[in-house]
Amino acid sequence: MRTSGLGSLPGTDVAAGVRLGLAAASVPWLPEFPARGPWAGMIGRALGLLDGIGADLVAGEWKLARVPGLDQRRARATLRNDLDTLEEQAQGLEGPLKLAVAGPWTLAAATLLPLGGRVLGDPVARADLAQALASGVGDLRREVERRLPGVAVVLQVDEPSLPAVLAGSVPTEGGYFRHRSVERSEVTERLRLVGGDVLHCCAPGLEVELVLGEHGAGFAGVSLDQSLMTRTQWDAVAAAIEAGRELWLGCSPTVPAQAPTADALTRTVLGALRSLELGPVLRDRVVLTPACGLAGWPVREVTPLFRALATTAERMDDELAR
């Protein structure tokens, strides 16, 4: 059974964090470091990727703009520096390397139009945003594979706002009203446009079939917080695993900010996976992760967490072989 991280790490020591992301898990990943500022977090990094659409940070809110603003340019420079560090630290790396980017629906829910109002409320703007994001993500994938020819990029699309988008519960800019729900067909179309291998959602209520189903968004895997999963989601995940899809299981809570023991993690994971009654096939189709990013954690707790995940993964291999 494999392990990986999901996105953010605490602190601002990028070189040390990248080294940990490369060494601490069997599926290495490029972390985010939001403590450096909004341009280095999930939304800022994604807006820095946009191809042909400007953005700027105004009074703490990201807005689309006619031309790239200072903070969008800073986001692009920050990601470029992160890629330089990754290239330096990952020479000779072969195999999977996971990159994370905010998805089109979370980005549309978090970003404002130039004259106000969320991008989510404007069908034309949200289509343009998804197209610009898809182009930028493609460029990022090609850039990483050019710098590190031995890696195969695994793209994680972060969509914590997706259940709210589908449910019509995203608040308007003023907070008094809610945006209308978006049709499933449009949701899946935009997700397919951006592409990706794993869709991560740490919010409750994600419809697994929309992500992994035959007529869904076409992802190979879904990443969920184990503590929030319902019986319906577990049933859908089991069917998807049998069909060859993957579950990236957020088995380690990120609140409180303290590493669990391997014994506690093993009990949690084993209790959930045994009930699926899928046996050894789970060893190749489940990846153990934290439930969400670790930006709010003490740095000293991060390494023990990944040690506990690695030990749990080894134990699960033995348990599922029985």
Q: Torsion angle of alpha carbons 260, 5, 202, 262, nearest 10°?
A: -20
What pLDDT was estimated at residue 213? 79
**pLDDT at residue 190, rounded to an integer:** 97
Q: What average pLDDT score do residues 173-185 get? A: 94
- Predicted confidence at residue 218, as pLDDT, reads 93
Q: What is the DSSP pairing of strand 246-252 with strand 286-290?
A: parallel
> What is the model's pLDDT at position 243?
94
What confidence tier does 205 reach under pLDDT thresholds 50, 70, 90? very high
Count CA within 13 A, CB hemisphere, residue 7. Answer: 30
**Residue 322 confidence (pLDDT):** 72
Going by pLDDT thresholds of 50, 70 and 90, the confidence category of residue 320 is confident
In angstroms, the Cα distances linking 5 to 114, 138, 298 are 35, 22, 16
Overall average pLDDT of the 296-307 stretch: 96
Query: What does the pLDDT look like over 142-173, one tens digit per residue?
Result: 999 999 999 999 999 999 999 999 999 999 99
Give the pLDDT score at 321.
78
**Biggest distance spanned by C-alpha atoms of the chain:** 61
For residues 15-30, average pLDDT? 97
Three-state DSSP state, 118 = strand
What pLDDT digit, counting tens, does each position of 267-276 carry? Answer: 999 999 999 9
Q: Which two tokens stand for residue 62?
A: 């990201």
Strand extents, DSSP E, the chain: 2-3, 54-58, 61-65, 95-102, 151-158, 198-201, 221-225, 246-252, 286-290
Q: Mapping DSSP to helix (H, G, I), strand (E, B) and coil, where does residue 289 land? A: strand
Mean pLDDT computed over every residue of the chain: 96
Per-residue pLDDT tens digits for 61-83: 999 999 999 999 999 999 999 99
User: Can you say whether the dihedral through the CA atoms of 152, 285, 25, 79 is positive or negative?
Assistant: positive
Instruction: Enumerate the H helices of 247-298 as residue ranges.
Output: 262-274, 282-285
* % the chain with pLDDT above 90: 94
What single DSSP character describes residue 4?
B
- Label residue 39 by pLDDT band (50, 70, 90): very high
pLDDT tens for each residue of 74-116? 999 999 999 999 999 999 999 999 999 999 999 999 999 999 9
State whether CATH 3.10.20.310 applies to domain 2-320: no
Output the pTM of the full model: 0.96
pLDDT number for residue 60: 92
- In the prediction, which pLDDT does 268 show? 95
- Cβ(27)–Cβ(98) under 8 Å? yes
Cα 296 from chain centroid?
A: 16
